[in-house]
A and B are shown apart, each in its own frame.
Chain A
Amino acid sequence: MATPADSALKAVPAAKATPWTDPNARAYLHIDHVTKSFGDFKAVDDVSLKVYKGEIFCLLGASGCGKTTLLRMLGGFETPSSGRIFIDGEDMTGVPPYERPVNMMFQSYALFPHMNVEQNVAFGLKQDRVPKAEIKERVATMLDLVKLGAFGKRKPHQLSGGQRQRVALARSLVKRPKLLLLDEPLAALDKKLREHTQFELISLQDQLGVTFVVVTHDQEEAMTLASRIGVMNQGEIVQAGTPSEIYEFPSSKFVADFIGSVNIFEGKLVEDEPEYVRIACPELGGTIYVSHGISAAPEATVWAAVRPEKVFMSTAAPQGADNVARGAVQDIAYLGDLSIYLVKLPTGKVVRVTQPNTSRHAEAITWDQQVYLSWDATSPVVVTR
């Protein structure tokens, strides 16, 4: 239940009581130094992770990053080469899929084509020898929950993609698993349906309180669904955190670049004070001033990442010498709600700027126009790798 006090807490992320910031919280899913090798190739490389009860944890990464292998190890379809997996305190490392308190929703949905919707959903309960009357009741409740109450007698091939997705969801949730694994749950749906279904998934998860681990390559999906995101690259989790942490405080160039779009300027640390740093950046043709200290060696090569929506664009020269560049508009993409500008600096670097189209009759900046770019001292994120 959301009380006014809760929502007040939510406004201040640092003060919000979250299990992952509480050192005493018990992990519901604990992945402990898990590695999976196929021959010489390490698909998953020494991953450790704690997921807490009621979370929607998204494993996000490009294809081949090891996220699906990790998910399959949670489901029991692959055995880790080393490391252990604990679910609700129990060691599940070598337990076969049919004995795990875990269910999976497959990317292809894997609905049984020779069974109707009810039989598909009832399958797992029958397998567990749940009494007939109870099966009937639980299946009906589940189908109502996913709004498929009227479709019980249909075969999977008589359903639309979105309906099949919901049958798959119902089938994997009806056994009340401790953990629900979702492999690219929305990838097969079209964009409109996907957005709609994202919110349905969240509300369903909220009602049932099941812990979700979702694998996706779609960062927008991850941002919408997740309580926390684990960004994976080459078998490792490179950063785990809330969507806003990942977006606003990426820990590396890779994460900054992978989530959303970003302008990355390479430079050298010239002033390194506890309250601020100044970076000389030949690509920019100037200096970048950041209003917080970082931990890096003096003279070190660092990268400053600035999000396109945090770059201001003007025709008049802004004040100050830091965080300013001048360039010519090379390209404009009008997206309706906002416009994307690609501005080419004299150094050849192309900077991406997005501006909301707040006015219908704004004085338009056009192609080849000379503009000034600037940003606040709080905007850049400085990463050292």
Chain B
Amino acid sequence: MVVFLPYVWLMLFFVVPFVIVLKISFADVDLAIPPYTPLMQWTENNVLAIKLNFNNYEFLFTDKLYLNAFLNSIKVAFISTLLCLLVGYPMAYGIARAKPSTRNVLLLLVILPFWTSLLLRVYAWIGLLKANGVINNVLISLGIIHDPLTMLYTPFAMYVGIVYSYLPFLILPLYANLEKMDWTLLEAAEDLGCRPWQAFYKITLPLSRNGILAGSMLVFIPAVGEFVIPALLGGPNALMIGRILWDEFFSNRAWPVASAVAILLLILLVPFMMWYQSIQARESAGAR
């Protein structure tokens, strides 16, 4: 029963919705409620006709908009992941090397933002980045700049928002990995002639590989489909697949196309999720 329950949960809230979305992706737009044609229909002579409409998928590959949005999403997710690594690795390393008492405080600070809604935090960034926002006001009052910088509704603002929101997902698995490191290995490396940075490059970095990959996947996978942050901070030019999905669904009421986009996005991300799973399996098996 206890084992069974999660499967019921997965069935109800994951598999069934997925099948529905899959079904809609093969339908055609219709002026009806819901706004798409049924998949199966009884015709004359008691024939059950199943109509699979592949036009939606074909449309996605013919209209450059969707392909560009996919590519752009991958690019944004990739750059965000790199930025998260650049910011998050030193943080995770610092926490792992801190005294155990300090460590808990630092970890708490990493998790703290989760206590507020993501939406609120993204709105807070608007307040910080806008033309007469906190950052511009401070810079102007200090006399460093005279005219406000345009930060909001730029790729810069979007990357700030994504890195800020996803950083904990990178730091936590990386920290869990680094925390298990035997630091005498670094002393051994130095003893054998490594300068500290060489020891980091030759010992710490390869040994934290699984942590780096796991954290990166946790940032990359959701960032590809990210909708809220590009929409609020990135401005009209931020062409992300999550945003296309939203527009198709709510603005154009093109449910079948939107569903096809969703299915393709899923197919795109499955290999990354499987990779993440295999890293996790390796990590818990303890093999390097």
Contact = CB atoms under 8 A, between A and B. Distances in A.
Interface string B45-60: 0000000000000000
A343 B203 CA distance: 58
Nearest to A124: B192
A127 interface: yes
Contacts of B195: 98
Nearest to B184: A110
A153 to B, nearest CB: 15
A255 B145 CA distance: 74
B187 interface: yes
A28 interface: no
B184 A127 contact: no
B187 A127 contact: no
B207 A113 contact: yes
Interface size bracket, B side: 10 to 19
Contacts of A171: 192
B288 A128 contact: no
Interface residues of A, number: 25
Given A110-B185, A112-B185, A113-B288, A124 B193 contact: yes
Chain B interface main SS type: helix
A124 B287 CA distance: 24
A98 B194 CA distance: 6
A77 interface: yes
B182 A108 contact: yes
A127 B192 contact: yes
A97 B206 contact: no
A114 B206 contact: yes
Nearest to B195: A98
B192 A175 contact: yes
Q: Which of B192, B193, B207 has the most CB of A within 10 A?
A: B192
Contact of B184 (A76, A106, A172): A106
B212 to A, nearest CB: 13
A263 interface: no
A247 interface: no
A106 B198 CA distance: 20
Interface in B159-188: 182, 184-185, 187-188
List the 8 closest pairs (A to B, CB-CB), nearest first. Answer: A124-B192, A127-B193, A110-B188, A97-B190, A110-B184, A104-B191, A98-B190, A98-B193
